[in-house]
Amino acid sequence: MTQPHHSVKEQMPNRAQLRRDLLQIRKESPLALRQQWDRSIADQVIALIQQNMPQHLAVYWPIQAEPDLLQCYQELQQLGVKLALPIVVGKAQALKFVEWCPGDSMDTDSFGIPIPRNREHGIAPDMLLIPCVGFSSQNFRLGYGGGFYDRSLAQLRQAKSVGIAYQLAQTEFTPEVYDIPLTHIITELQLSI
């Protein structure tokens, strides 16, 4: 008697479980090792930015053991790159990106994430650095599940999107209909194109 065939989607863990597993693995990685990976990622980010020189680069504030590129942002600012941070404006809305320079006065949003105190100057970035909980070989991103970056990328179709993750976050999952593949993924080991 033969076993029934199961679809690939049925064999893969659900996104919520996959998200939990990947976050746990990332948080358990030793800090000293993550700091080495962060420098490698930062070097690749700087090289990519120097090749593309975006007018406005959206960056992120690291949370939950995400790659920490705060030092890299200072280096990018010294190269003349204009930076912006994302702000959550509503549950089912796209992110608002506001101009930011390292050292600016900050507030904390409802998620506990630092955001610029001066939020008046919204911009449309032409390149975004986007933290990934996970990513696939097809450059799809697994985020925290709020859909904020998905909605933002849908509005910023011309912008280049650069996923930032540790290599241990590479996994396979079935993309949802609203998922938009990222232009690049940068890990401590590679830049995917």
Enumerate the known binding-site residues: 15-19, 66, 141-149
Residue that has been written with the tokens 């659900």 in this structure: 14
Phi and psi torsions of 32, nearest 5°: -60, -40
For the annotated binding site for substrate, the residues are: 66
Task: Return all residues near 84 (Cβ < 8 A) that are at least 6 apart.
Answer: 56, 57, 58, 59, 97, 98, 99, 100, 123, 125
Amino acid at site 186? I
Which residues make up each annotated binding site for ATP? 15-19, 141-149
CA distance 160 to 182: 8
Instruction: Answer yes or no: are the C-beta atoms of 116 and 103 closer than 8 Å.
Output: no
CB of 66 closer than 8 Å to CB of 128: no
Angle ∠(55,81,163) on CA atoms, nearest 5: 80
